[in-house]
Structure 1
Amino acid sequence: MFELDEKKYLYFLIIIPLLVVLFLWNIYWKRKRQREFGDLHLIEKLSPSSSLFKSVIKMLVVLLAFAALIIGLVNPKIGTKLETVKREGIDIVFAIDVSKSMLAEDMAPNRLDKSKQIVSQVINQLGSDRIGIVAYAGSAFPILPITTDYGVAKMFLQSMNTDMVSSQGTSLEQAIQLSADFFEEGNATNKLIILISDGEDHSEGIEKAIEKANEVKAKIITIGVGTTKGGPIPIKQNGIVESFKRDQNDEVVITALNEETLKQIGKETKGGYIYGDNTKEVLEYVKNALDNIEKTEFETTQVADFQSQFQWFLGFAFLLLLLDTFLLERKTDWISKLNLFNEKKS
C-alpha cells in the first residue's frame, strides 16, 4: 500500500517532455547551422571528439534527476505495517433546539449561540467517544450521523441556525425519537443524549419519547438555556434589532425557560438536568456524568502505518546530478568503437 503526500507537485512532471522537445530542437538547430557553415563531414573531422551519444546520456541523467526531485517533493509513503487500533468510549448525540425562541437574548449572546458554545466545549473534552448531532424545532432534522471526526462535528455545529428547520415550534418528542434512532440497534455501547433547549414544548408525546430512550438504554442529560423570567424574540436586519416577534393579538411574545419538562426528561431516563448559564459548571457536570458511564470497545480498525520515502528519491537525484558533473560531451575511446549513432562513415 502506498499514498502520495503532496500530489500537487506532480504537475511539475509536464516540464520533462518540454525539456525533451527543447533538447531535440537544439540538436536540429545546431545541425542546421553547421550545414550553413560548411560540409558536415568536414566539420566532423575538424571536431572528432564531439559526441551526440554523450549529449543524449547527459540529458537523460538530468531528466532522471529532475523526475526524482519531483517525486521526492510529492513524498510517496509506503505502508510498512498494520496496527490494530482499539477505541473505547460511548455514543453521544447532541440534540440542539433551533426554534425561533432560541434567538432570545436573555442568555448572552443568545440562547442558540450559548448552546453551540456549550456543545463545542463538551466536544473539546471528549476522548474517543463517537458523537452525532440533531437539530429540532417543530420537527427534528439529522445534522451529523454518529462519527469520531470532531472537526467535522464542530463545522456542522457552527452552521446551525433557526432557519434550518421549516416547521416552527418545539417538539422535544421528535428530538428524542430521532436521537434514539441514531444509535445502532443491538449495539452494546453505552448511549447518552445531551439535549439543549429552553424547555418550551408544543408536542404531546414526551412520555412516549422517554419510553423510546429507555428502550435503547440511552440516558438523557438536559441543559436549560434562557431564564425563567424570559425575554422577547428579536427580529434583526443586518445584525440590528428592528422589532420583536408578536402574537396574533399584536403583543410582544415573551419566551421563558421551562425547567420542569427538562428535569422530568433527565430524571426518567436516569440522566440529569443542569442550568446552562455557567459553561464551566455545565462542563464539570457533563464530565462527571461521562466518568460514571462505563466505556465499551466500539471500534477495531486496521491502520497502515505509512512511512515517508522522499529521502530515497532526493538522494538518487543528487547522485545523478553529481554524476552529470563528471560526464563530458566529448567522445571516449570505448564509445567511439561502439559507433552507436553510426558516426563513422564507411
Structure 2
Amino acid sequence: MIRENNTYNHLVKGLLVSEAIWWSLVLVMYVFVPLESWGVKLLHSEMLGLWAIIPLLGILTWIQWRWKAQIYAEYSGYGSTRMLWVRFEPVKAFLHYFLLRSTYFFVVLAMAQPVAGSRKVNGSKRVLDLVICLDISNSMNTKDMGGNKTSRLTAAKNAIGELLNQLKGERIAVVVFANDAYTQLPLTMDYGAAKLFVPDIETSMISDQGTNIGRALEVAQDQFKDTESGKAILVITDGEDHEALWKKQLTELKKKNVELAYLGLGSAKGGLIPNNPYDESEGYKRENGQAVVSKIDQKGLTRMAGESGSILVTSDSPFPNIYDIAANYKNTKNKQVMKVEFKVDKNYFYIPTILALLCMICYFFLPIIIHPHKS
C-alpha cells in the first residue's frame, strides 16, 4: 500500500511540476521574447483564451488518479480489486495526460493562425470605373414623369440609387453638368457615401445653365487618368443638348475604349419648367410671353447614341428600369481583366496542426508502445 501511495504522490508531484514548468516557459516567452520580435503574429490571438481549459483538464486528471488511490486504500484486501491499481502504470498515465494536453494546446495554437513574413501572389480581377454624368439643367425640374407628379431630376436620383444597388465592386464617380460641369463625387467604392451625396444634388448647384453634354464627357474623362480598369460613362439627361462639343469627345472616348450609355428622361408630351422647383406658385419659365414646354429630345438622344454606338434607354417613369444598362456594364467589366500582384501573410497553422496530430497518434498507440505491467 505504501508503494501505491508513493506512486500516487509521485504522479501528482510530476503533474504539478510539469504544469509549472510548461506555463512558466509560456509566460517567459510571452513577456520577454514576444512573437513580434521573431516576425511572428497571430491572426486570431483571441483564440488563445481557450488555453484556460488546460488547468481544468489537469484537475480532472488529478481527481481520476485520486479516485483510484482511494479505491485501492478501501479495498486493498480484495485480490481482484488490487488489480485496479496494479495495472495503473504511472509512466503511461502521465504520458496519457501529457499527450492529451499537448494535443489540445497545439490545436488552439493552430486556430490562432500564426503567420510570419509574406509571399507574393499573382492574380487577376475584373474591374470597372463608372462615371455618372447627371444633367442638372433647369429642364430637369420638369414634372412629366409618372403622370406629371415627379420631376426628371427625382427620377434620375431614383435610377442612380437602383444602379448602386446592382453594382458589385465597381468604382463610381458622379459628375453634374448644365452648361458647365464639375465632379460632385470622385471615384470611390463607397456606395454608402454616394447614396448620401446624390439626394442633395439640385439644379441650383450650377448657375451657368444649358445642357452641355460634351463638357460633361470632358470632365468625366479626368476620372480615368492613371487607371487600367474598364471605363464607362452613363449620361442621364433629357437630351436637350445645345452644344456640339460632345462630337469631339466621342473621338476621345473611342481612343480610350470608354463604354458610353445614355438614360433619357422625360415624356413626349413634356411639361412646364418651374421657376422654383420647390414652389410652383412662382410660375414657369417663359419665352416671348409663352410658357416653355420641355420635352425629351428623343431624336437627339437617338442620334448621339447611334453615332457613338451606345446603348440608349428612355423612360417617363419615376423609377426608370436600368436593368439593360446595368447588364451592359457587367459585360464591359467581364471584358476587362487586370493582372495584379499582392502580398499575403505566410500562414504556419499547419505546424501546430501536425504537432497536434502526432500527439494524438501517440496518445492512441501508447498502450502498444508501453506494455502493461505484468505481475
TM-score, normalised with respect to structure 1: 0.59
1:208-242 superposed Cα distances (whole Å, 9 cap, x missing partner): 121122122111110110112211012348x4421
Aligned to 2:265: 225
Aligned to 1:140: 181
| Identity, % of aligned positions | 27
- Measured at CA, do residues 244 and 254 of structure 1 come closer, stay the same or move farther in structure 2, by a change above 3 Å? farther
Contact 1:135–1:142, Cα closer than 8 Å, also in 2: yes
1:94-131 superposed Cα distances (whole Å, 9 cap, x missing partner): 00000100000001411001001001100111010111
- Measured at CA, do residues 298 and 207 of structure 1 come closer, stay the same or move farther in structure 2, by a change above 3 Å? farther
1:59-100 superposed Cα distances (whole Å, 9 cap, x missing partner): xxxxxxxxxxxxxxxxxxxx9888989753211000000010
1-structure distance, mates of 2:159, 2:320: 10
Aligned to 1:169: 210
Which of residues 312, 320, 334 in structure 2 aligns to 1:273? 312
2-structure distance, mates of 1:301, 1:220: 31
Contact 1:189–1:298, Cα closer than 8 Å, also in 2: no
1-structure distance, mates of 2:129, 2:261: 13
Contact 1:144–1:153, Cα closer than 8 Å, also in 2: yes
SS of equivalent to 1:234: coil
SS of equivalent to 1:163: helix
Structure 2: which amino acid aligns with 1:226? Answer: G
Shift of 1:256: 1.0
2-structure distance, mates of 1:302, 1:279: 47
Shift of 1:140: 0.7
Query: What aligned pairs does 1:68-217 form with structure 2 within 5 A after superposition?
Result: 88-107=126-145, 108-185=149-226, 187-217=227-257
RMSD: 2.9
Shift of 1:302: 6.8
- Measured at CA, do residues 296 and 130 of structure 1 come closer, stay the same or move farther in structure 2, by a change above 3 Å? farther
Give the paired residue count.
226
- 5+ residue gaps, structure 1, are 3-78, 305-346
Higher helix share: 2
TM-score, normalised with respect to structure 2: 0.54
Runs of 4+ aligned residues of structure 1 deviating over 4 Å after TM superposition are: 79-87, 278-281, 298-304
2-structure distance, mates of 1:292, 1:267: 19
Bigger radius of gyration among the two: 2
SS of equivalent to 2:316: coil
1:2-51 superposed Cα distances (whole Å, 9 cap, x missing partner): 9xxxxxxxxxxxxxxxxxxxxxxxxxxxxxxxxxxxxxxxxxxxxxxxxx
Shift of 1:277: 3.1
- Measured at CA, do residues 280 and 89 of structure 1 come closer, stay the same or move farther in structure 2, by a change above 3 Å? farther
- Measured at CA, do residues 127 and 258 of structure 1 come closer, stay the same or move farther in structure 2, by a change above 3 Å? same
Contact 2:180–2:216, Cα closer than 8 Å, also in 1: yes
Shift of 1:246: 3.0
- Measured at CA, do residues 299 and 201 of structure 1 come closer, stay the same or move farther in structure 2, by a change above 3 Å? farther
1:284-340 superposed Cα distances (whole Å, 9 cap, x missing partner): 201321232124348777799xxxxxxxxxxxxxxxxxxxxxxxxxxxxxxxxxxxx
Shift of 1:278: 4.7
- 5+ residue gaps, structure 2, are 1-35, 42-113, 346-375
Structure 2: which amino acid aligns with 1:198? Answer: D
Query: What aligned pairs does 1:283-294 form with structure 2 within 5 A after superposition?
Result: 283-293=322-332, 294=335
